[in-house]
Amino acid sequence: NVENVSFAYEEDNQTLENVSLTVARGEFVGLVGPSGSGKSTIASLLARLYDPDEGAITADGTDIRDFPVRAWRERVALVRQSPYLFDDTLRANVAMDRDLSETGLREVASLARVTEFLSDLPSGFDTRLGDDGVKLSGGQRQRVALARALVSDPDLLVLDEATSDLDPRLDEVIHRGLRDLDADLAVVTIA
């Protein structure tokens, strides 16, 4: 729950004023609005990159500031529009530092439709990406980032224009897959 939240990056320039919204478990919520209206700011507050100046964000009745930051960030996955890929393998870019079995890797890669371009890569999951490796398209990078977000099995997934470079059909397939994945997963999609 976002409850009457106000937030400003700098004085005299209120970015969010008295914003409230509710996302229930298993619910998909879309946020739309003009550029600069504060959608990405809401995404940042949900991931607790910032705290609200006024109001509160709660989860099951508890202010998220009452959880250890790390515990909260394990429950929320935020995917932005232009994700960063490291100079490492596809496998490492998805797993990051977490334990991930081969089965787990295939599962998230399939959900995020990374598998659709896997056979175009010279060494599959062991292909190096990043500045020193294979250059992926914007849509491919976004799919890697989505797979990365799914590894932590979040309760809340925030997609901040995270599928903007995918064609609408693929976007829909991915969203449908997320719905079928976990009946309790809440998703906030910013278009």
Could you list the residues that contact Mg ion (CB under 5 A)?
Answer: 39-40
Please tell me the distance from the alpha carbon of residue 133 to that of residue 47, in angstroms, as a whole number. Answer: 30
Of 139, 135, 141, 191, residue with least CA distance to 165:
139
Q: Is 15 in the site for ligand ADP (CB under 6 A)?
A: yes
Residue among 36, 68, 122, 168 that touches ligand ADP (CB under 6 A): 36
Q: What are φ and ψ of residue 47, in 5° steps? A: -85, 0
CA separation (Å) from 118 to 24, 49, 106, 110, 180? 34, 33, 11, 10, 23
Nearest-approach distance from CB 2 to ligand ADP, in angstroms: 14
Nearest-approach distance from CB 72 to ligand ADP, in angstroms: 20
Residue among 11, 24, 32, 35 that touches ligand ADP (CB under 6 A): 35
Per partner kind, with CB cut-offs from 5 to 8 A, the member of ligand ADP, Mg ion, none near residue 189 is: none
DSSP 8-state assignment for residue 136: P
Residue among 2, 5, 38, 112 that touches ligand ADP (CB under 6 A): 38
Q: Which residues, other chains included, contact 124 with Cβ-Cβ below 8 Å and sequence gap of 6+?
A: 90, 118
Nearest-approach distance from CB 37 to ligand ADP, in angstroms: 4
By residue count, the chain amounts to: 191
| Angle separating helix axes 102-111 and 138-151, nearest 10 degrees | 130
Q: Is 9 in the site for ligand ADP (CB under 6 A)?
A: yes
- Residues 39-78 as x/- pattern, contact with ligand ADP by CB under 6 A: xxx-------------------------------------
